Amino acid sequence: MSLSPKTDACCHTPPEVAGKSVVQPNKSALLKRLARIEGQVRGISGMVEADRYCVDVLTQVAAVKSALDAVSMQLLENHMKGCVSKALQEGDATGMVTELIEVVKKVR
């Protein structure tokens, strides 16, 4: 399986950056989803400002949480298909599995 930045996510360390970076295969779709979530959060602020009914506000908060969870799962899937797969192919299973467990603990 070849890992192309245009089709699969892949973590890599560019020479000019000390940390890792990622090439997302569906960057524009993720950014659109995040922009919608941002709009939802602004809407919630407006609802609070307008003294809207608590249940209505809570319903919107739950929708934002669900939308963020979906983004998290997409990023996790990209990470597993790209970064984890590449690390396993290169023989770095132990380090990657440890990192993956820590990430899953954070996003659950």
Amino acid 15: pLDDT? 39
Q: What's the fold here for domain 27-107?
A: Methane Monooxygenase Hydroxylase; Chain G, domain 1 (1.20.58)
Report DSSP letters for 36-91, one per residue. Answer: HHHHHHHHHHHHHHTT--HHHHHHHHHHHHHHHHHHHHHHHHHHIIIIIHHHHHTT
Task: Please give the structure tokens belonging to residue 72.
Answer: 């998290």
Q: Domain ranges for the chain, please list them.
A: 27-107
pLDDT one digit per residue (tens) for the chain, 108 residues = 333 444 455 554 443 444 677 778 889 999 999 999 999 999 999 999 999 999 999 999 999 999 999 999 999 999 888 888 888 888 878 888 888 899 899 987
- The whole-number pLDDT of residue 87 equals 85
Q: What is the pTM of this model?
A: 0.76
Per-residue model confidence (pLDDT) at position 7: 45
53 φ/ψ angles, rounded to the nearest 5 degrees: -60, 135
